[in-house]
Amino acid sequence: MITRREFLVGSACAAGLAALSGCRDRDGGLASRIPGEILGANSAAGHRLRTGALPPVSETIEAEFVVLGGGVAGLSAARQLRRSGVNDLLLLELEDEIGGNARSGSNAVSAYPWGAHYLPLPSEESVEVAAWLEEIGLITGRAADGAPIFDEYALCADPMERLFHHGAWQEGIVPRLDVPHAERAQIEGFLARMDRWRTTRGSDGRRAFAIPVDRSSRDTAFLDLDRVTMADYLKREGWTSEALRWYVDYCCRDDYGASADAVSAWAGIHYFASRNARAANAPSSAVLTWPEGNGWLARQLQQAVGTDIRPKSLVWSIDCPPSGGVAVDFLDLASERSIRVKARGAVCALPRFIAQRLIHGGPGAVAVFPDLVYSPWMVANLTLRQLPGSTSALAWDNVPRESRSLGYVVATHQSLASHPRKTVITYYQPLDDVPPQQARETALARTHESWAGQILADLQRMHPDLPAQTARLDVWLWGHAMIRPVPGFISGPTRRRMQAPHGPLAFAHSDMSGISIFEEAFTRGIDAANTLLASRKTLSPA
Amino acid sequence: MSDRGTRLLLLASVFAVATCGLIYELICGTLASYLLGDSVTQFSTVIGVYLFAMGIGSYLSRFVQGNVLRMFIRVEYLIGVVGGSAAAILFLCFAHVSSFRVLLYGLIVVVGTMVGLEIPLMLRILKGRLEFKELVSKVFTFDYIGALAASLLFPLLLVPHLGLVRSGFLFGIVNAAVGLCAVEVLRRELGGTAGLRAAGWTAIILLGAGFAASDRIMTWSESATYVDDVIYARSSPYQRVVLTRSTNDLRLYLNGNLQFSSRDEYRYHEALVHAGLARLPQARRVLILGGGDGLAAREVLRYPGIEHITLVDLDPSVTGLFSRQENLVALNGGALSSPKLQIVNADAFAWLRGRTDQFDFVVVDFPDPSNFSVGKLYTTAFFDLARGVLAPGGAMVVQCTSPFVARKSFWCVDATLHAAKFVTEPYHVYVPSFGEWGFILASREPLGGVWQLPEGLRYLTPQTLATLFAFPPDMGPVPTEVNRLNNQALVRYFEEEWAHYVH
């Protein structure tokens, strides 16, 4: 624990250094010299959907079922179909690699995530996820009381997280360093309230906040929290502490890509109150992680699906003809040829803002949802010649308080090597300072040098030597990284309508949950696959 | 020289002295953090005292009468010599002076005061040559630019490429050269310059000699931190390896921590190996993790039945040193050159993962768990892997720091071994150069057998062996957490306990 005195000395020291070194060049002009590029979901191919410059269909193939989208929801649906005995299966993915938000990369130093980087231990309602973790060996056994034993190598190694504030580090992310007594009491009060929410159940016997969200209680007393913003909820409860507000904002931006004044209180509380995992060898709050983040999980799903995955396939039409079945037209980006897949049914695991523009035909009108809000993100991976700061103090997740970024995670944190040297760090920033569409346009217009300069300047405040140690810096722009649970979305009618199948088309995506987390996508995938399987007999052949 | 040229030169010297001034301060702060630890406190106090001393210097400048230029040149020489050699002085004296801080802050006050004199004197020298507003603007601009240069040069070039001592001397030379340039350019305003010139060259030659001898200075200073003569000192990519010798003692230090003293290491290594191996008459294959000094291997080789030893040590510079250096080979009896022994230079955790062969006896002789990197080697995950390579009826021994100093740490390893499904027999031995030291013998099933000790032991007998397993109340079992990769409980206990012991 860092005392107030240490903090004061620390900030005096930082101020002294700053004063002495005068107007220091922030990154020594390195930003323009560090190699790297801007990557991102294939927006160029995506835009071809709008311009309509697509070749006519020149080949028709058949499959019993087709899955559209190779993110976690699509992979999970395909896995479920496969293990239920569907052999004639095809999965279409736009990008050159599967994974969606769980996409990862690798270089000579380490594998690293491009998006989601950890999975919390499964809560009591996440039964499908828990069963799968057992299947793939992440739950290695059970203690005498039935509590699962998790794979020690996948549990996030200690030290897990730390916070940088006014020039000093503290352990953990809940602000404690230099927080006045009254504010500390508010933080304690808030956390205690969240703990109570965690065990609160409604009249239907369900927990107020569960994962998947649709297993939460439907009591209006709880759902009313979805009508106000998280910021309003804090104000209403008298929690005015600046440190607490920073922490809540950090958490909302971490999971929803938007701060407490943009997301609903129901979603905000869900972040803190939904997880109640039991584990024999870890605390309830522990998480599972790998160098490549959730890319590791995506690869496990991919292996269960097998080889019937077609990457670089731009789906441009999903037709549900009156004769039955579904006809999906896609552009094979490698050959520039359009191909039609005729199938008995399909799981549409694309984000809905795209999918709803591609669907025609079928029973009744195609439901269109113009008001879905998605948060844009920027993620950067930096290859470092030397671990930043002191090796032994480095945590997995390193968060700066005075920054618009969420800090960085260390890809080699789980490494067993006694003397790791080089590493890759993944830097996260939700782009929520302006409305999403404006943020997307601004982000796409920026150069690599501009991003690199901003990222290095931010990281340099934590680690003065970091820019000089950076060998490479790549930036990934996620235009529509995650659904944003704005007030009214979780409890309102939109989500229910999004979940209804459209003829032979079942939907699976975390945007139908309102919360973009692995468990939601995974469970949606299974549910959509089961919907198709249940109607297998009634669906006409392709 | 034109007046404009002189002005430019004087302003360039403002830039140079500003750079030097900040470099001395950064050197003192870095060195204090390096030698005393707690960088926040060290930097903060060094900066505070230095700035305050500059204030004293500025105040004192009013008492400078007569030829200000002469005084300025003398001040430059003095800063060059004192500031330039400060790092060397501090390194050399660290082990010898009783109050290092007095020396440190004394030097900082002297250098800071002199640096504080520089700018006021420079302002007075330039007073007649520039308009007041231009004077102030120019002098301070160059002063701050010099500070920027120093703050960039120091971390990017000086510390990584020259080191603290050599950087100090280099900037001392720059300071003295500024003085000497002023003598040459402004000789008409100075009157007699022979004395000043001689003093300047003397300072530069002295500092140049220091610059050339920087490496030797570092070796002397390292010798000074050890009681005995340093006979070997080298940095491997993993650690600083230092060997010292006195008339009848040879000592190995890794990162400054004593690994053994030849006077009593046999107590440690006999206890480490024989308490377990002497009860395993069937043992043929032995695995040693750590122990690159070959001393545990020497003890294992006393058993004629042993057919093969695999020794896994991270650092090839240690196993190489103990295979070749005459005194060390004499100490380990040439164990590392035994045809029965195979050396593997690898990270033990990664090496152990994925092994399928089995060993009758496993010796785990790692450094103490003083940081998260080493702490991983004492976790349930690591011991699970070790159990996987243990042959039926085999045993493993783990060195476990001092149960007297770090009682919780010791019993935490015991609890961790239990969590990894071992049965354990903790024991301890008194090693004079270490103090009371602890080991834990671990096996899948309770270990039977009687001790059949080999010939030639100097410490262990069946009688002494029996006493090792009794723990007096002040070292007895205490309940602790289990050490896992995701909690590193042991490192936290260890830090807390040794910190209390040292201070």
Interface of A with B in 367-406 (CB under 8 A): 391-392
For chain A, the structural domain boundaries read 26-42+374-483, 56-104+294-371+487-534, 119-288
How close does chain B come to A30, measured CA to CA in Å?
12
Kindly identify which residue of chain B lies nearest to residue A463, measuring between CA atoms: B155
For residue A185, give the 3-state DSSP assignment.
helix
Q: Confirm or reject contact between A464 and chain B (CB < 8 A).
A: yes
Alpha-carbon span B64 to B117, nearest angstrom: 10
Alpha-carbon span B321 to B328, nearest angstrom: 8
How close does chain A come to B310, measured CA to CA in Å?
20
- Whose structure tokens read 């990017």? B156
Could you give the C-alpha distances from B343 to B156, B288, B363, in angstroms and in order? 39, 10, 14
How close does chain A come to B315, measured CA to CA in Å?
11
Task: Say whether the ipTM exceeds 0.95.
Answer: no
Q: Residue B384: its chain A contacts at CB < 8 A?
A: 152
Among A329-343, B24-38, B74-88, B237-251, which stretch is predicted with the lowest mean pLDDT? B24-38
Contact B40 A9 (CB under 8 A): yes
Catalytic residues of B: 365
Q: Residue B485: its chain A contacts at CB < 8 A?
A: 152-153, 155, 157-158
Residue-wise pLDDT tens digits, B53-87? 999 999 999 998 888 888 889 999 999 999 999 98
Pull the structure tokens for residue A185.
């009491």
Strand partners, B287: B310, B362
Residue-wise pLDDT tens digits, B161-208? 787 888 999 999 999 998 988 888 888 888 778 888 999 999 999 999
| Domains of chain B with CATH codes | 3-224 (1.20.1250), 228-258 (no CATH), 267-502 (3.40.50.150)
Question: Are the C-beta atoms of A150 and A281 separated by less than 8 Å?
Answer: yes
| DSSP 8-state class, residue A218 | -
Share of chain B above pLDDT 70, in %: 94
Contact B43 A392 (CB under 8 A): no
Q: Does domain A56-104+294-371+487-534 have CATH number 3.30.470.10?
A: no
Out of A24, A156, A418, closest to residue B373 by CB? A418
Contact B22 A21 (CB under 8 A): yes
pLDDT band for position A390 (cuts 50, 70, 90):
low
Among B192-206, B339-353, B356-370, which stretch is predicted with the lowest mean pLDDT? B192-206
Question: Are the C-beta atoms of A441 and A2 separated by less than 8 Å?
Answer: no
Q: Is pLDDT at B341 greater than 60 in this prediction? A: yes
Alpha-carbon span B246 to B241, nearest angstrom: 17
Confidence at residue A418, expressed as pLDDT on a 0 to 100 scale = 73
**Which chain B residues have any C-beta within 8 angstroms of a chain A C-beta?**
22, 25, 40-41, 43-44, 47-48, 51, 144-145, 147-148, 150-152, 155-156, 237-238, 314, 347-350, 353, 371-374, 376-377, 379-381, 384, 484-488
Confidence at residue A300, expressed as pLDDT on a 0 to 100 scale = 98
Alpha-carbon span B250 to B219, nearest angstrom: 18
Pull the structure tokens for residue A420.
């790791």
Stretch A449-458: mean pLDDT, rounded?
96
Contact B380 A9 (CB under 8 A): no
How close does chain B come to A266, measured CA to CA in Å?
31
Stretch A455-473: mean pLDDT, rounded?
92
Alpha-carbon span B246 to B231, nearest angstrom: 10
Q: Residue A412: its chain B contacts at CB < 8 A?
A: none
Q: Residue A416: its chain B contacts at CB < 8 A?
A: 347, 349-350, 353, 376
Mutate to test the interface with B, among A118, A158, A392 (most CBs of B within 10 A): A158
Q: Residue A13: its chain B contacts at CB < 8 A?
A: 40, 43-44, 47
At the top level of CATH, the class of A26-42+374-483 is alpha beta
Residue-wise pLDDT tens digits, A204-232? 999 999 999 999 999 999 999 999 999 99
Confidence at residue A8, expressed as pLDDT on a 0 to 100 scale = 36
Confidence at residue B170, expressed as pLDDT on a 0 to 100 scale = 93
Contact A419 B151 (CB under 8 A): no
Residue-wise pLDDT tens digits, A491-531? 999 999 999 999 999 999 999 999 999 999 999 999 999 99
Pull the structure tokens for residue B104.
């440190």
Dihedral sign computed on CA atoms, order A429, A433, A437, A441: negative
A:B CB pairs within 8 Å: 110
Of residues B143 and B163, more confidence is placed in B143
Out of B41, B156, B488, closest to residue A158 by CB? B488
SS3 sequence of A388-447: CCCHHHCCCEEEECCCCCCCEEEHHHHCCCCCCCCEEEEEEEECCCCCHHHHHHHHHHCC
Residue-wise pLDDT tens digits, B365-390? 999 998 888 899 999 999 999 999 99
Q: What is the mean pLDDT of chain A?
A: 91
Share of chain A above pLDDT 90, in %: 84
Confidence at residue A24, expressed as pLDDT on a 0 to 100 scale = 38
Strand partners, B395: B361
- 10 Å CB burial of residue B154 (0-12, 13-18, 19+) is buried
> Between β-strands B257-261 and A148-150, what pairing exists: parallel, antiparallel or unpaired?
unpaired
Residue-wise pLDDT tens digits, B452-499? 999 999 999 999 998 999 999 999 999 999 999 999 999 999 989 987
Q: Confirm or reject contact between A21 and chain B (CB < 8 A).
A: yes
- Whose structure tokens read 């300025």? B72
SS3 sequence of B51-101: HHHHHHHHHHHHHCCCCHHHHHHHHHHHHHHHHHHHHHHHHHHCCCCCCHH
Residue-wise pLDDT tens digits, B431-456? 999 999 999 999 999 998 899 999 99
Q: Residue B372: its chain A contacts at CB < 8 A?
A: 157-159, 392
Buried b (16+ CB within 10 A) or exposed e, A342-356: bbbbbbbbbbbbbbb
Kindly identify which residue of chain B lies nearest to residue A158, measuring between CA atoms: B486
Peptide bond into B426 cis (omega under 30): no
Architecture of the domain defined by A119-288: Orthogonal Bundle (1.10)
